Chain A
Amino acid sequence: MIDVVAILMANYLYVLAITLGGMLISLSVHFVPVGGAPAAMAQATGIGTGTVQLAAGAGLTGLVTAGAVMAVSDSLPLILAAGAVGAMIMMSVTMLVGAWVYTYGVGVPPASAKVKYDPITKDRQDLYVSQGTEGHGLPTVSFVSGVIGGLLGGIGGSLVYYSLMMNTTTSLTTSNLVGLASIFAVGIFFVNAVIPSYNIGGTIEGFHDPKFKKWPKAVFSSFIATFLSALIGVLAIGGL
């Protein structure tokens, strides 16, 4: 059997870093403008798919970019920045193409139903919301909010991956460690993407949405769930 205490003593900082990463991912999901099925029919503001798919798309891109940088550098700020930029690019591209589809394909103006004036551009919103819908398209505030979501999610995901890779007690070869750390990071990422999506309950427009105020509940839940996953992950990798 493995020496649980010694592994945890040697890696306790990484357990805490993984937990922090999970909480960042959980917070980041609240920034992403998720419209779900209604948005797919241009009847709600945001991107027309579920929270998990969006967070996973952006987060996994962040993991790939962070992993690519980690192959050539050990610098934590550089790895976190690479993860953040990867996730932000993925999120921006998704939202940009979504905005094209809504504007030129469906033919609706970007409009938020949750606020009367866009907090960033100060443009009037309510006049442009079609009757019977909860807004449509991606107004500027949702776009900016989504990019912030990508930033936090990318930092969180790459922090989880970095902490798993830096395990001090493991004797795994690099290729095995990369595979194991990646799949642990993906598992932790998915758990922390689903918890906030249950908190949001379907759709959210961004940080200006009233539902955004519920974030502490999800971050607290993610704290407990990720701490447990972090213990398990660090023990499994550290004991090999």
Chain B
Amino acid sequence: MSAGGEPKAIGGAIVPNKIIAFGILGGLIGIYAAHFLDSMISPVFSFMGALGAICAIVWGADAVRRVCSYGLGTGVPSIGMLALGMGVVASMFGLAVGGIYGPILAFVSAAIIGLIIGVLANKVLGMNIPIMEQSMVEIAGAGALTIVGLSTTMAGTFMFDEVLTYVVAPGYIAVIFIAGGMAILHPFNACLGPDEHQDRTLTLAFEKGGIAMVIAGLVSAVAGSAAMLPTIMIGVFIWYTSFAKFYELTKRDSYKILGSGLLPTEEELQ
């Protein structure tokens, strides 16, 4: 690879629509699979919710990547916090009134809030970013699915009584807020620059999702209808493989790697 980096196609190698479908379908399938398999077969399947959350996280990270390459002027973290701010309001509403349709209602209401904020950002605040409306819908939706997915893994179901008792009332929802927000905002924040590549950024999103999954697994130890060990083991596996892949991609994208060796000992310095 040349020093200045190869010219890259706008939007990256994977087209946005594929990642949007991956995030929405993967997220919803994971959440519903966790709910039904958990109640019908065994609590072991509660980890499916976190897998759905990881799909949503990767989608959210890609949406952040697309909108932030326009330059927001305020840094990338703000948009991750906005995503989870919109997402937590919408997902609590969706789960509280939606019953079995809770995750879908959460997703739809997040998309509506996101659309309104996107329109306000462009029309009233005058940000003039062409993809702002679509990106805000995507980011809010990804935030909502992340919260619902991780909550489902922690409580073993997305029925609001259990989520309220095991996730919201003890305050673990704050952990989801920060872990999910970090997972969506951090990949692009860490990788941005002229040599940013989509595959490296999204690999980092998988890695962050793995960490969020391990944390959700630890919390699920307190809920009766969720299993801790499978969630933690799968989370550690995802974390390890994606971190190894991220390290490999970082070495691929770097101009040159030099070993600095170990720090000199005291004798060698004299």
Contacts and interface: CB of A to CB of B under 8 A. Distances in A.
B165 A190 contact: no
A17 interface: no
Interface of B: 72-75, 77-79, 81-82, 84-90, 92-93, 96-97, 109, 112-113, 116-117, 120-121, 124-127, 160, 164-165, 168-171, 173-174, 177
B113 A183 contact: no
A195 interface: yes
Contact of A176 (B121, B169, B177): B169
B78 A51 contact: yes
B160 A232 contact: no
A141 interface: no
Contact of A188 (B84, B89, B97): B89
For the residues of A in contact with B, the DSSP-based class is helix
B125 A229 contact: no
Q: Which 3 A-B pairs have the closest CB atoms?
A: A190-B85, A201-B73, A236-B96
A189 interface: yes
Given A229-B113, A235-B97, A176 B165 contact: yes
Contacts, number: 134
Q: Contact size class for A?
A: 35 or more
A183 B172 CA distance: 10
Contacts of A182: 171
Contact of A198 (B77, B87, B88, B121): B121
A195 to B, nearest CB: 7
B92 A184 contact: yes
B117 A183 contact: no
B78 A183 contact: no
A240 B116 contact: no
Contacts of A37: 75
Given A184-B89, A184-B92, A195-B121, 17 more contacts: A2-B97, A52-B78, A178-B169, A180-B164, A183-B174, A194-B85, A198-B121, A217-B125, A220-B124, A221-B121, A221-B125, A224-B116, A225-B116, A233-B89, A233-B92, A236-B92, A236-B96
A45 interface: no
A180 B97 CA distance: 14
A218 B85 CA distance: 17
A193 interface: yes
A50 interface: yes
Nearest to B164: A176
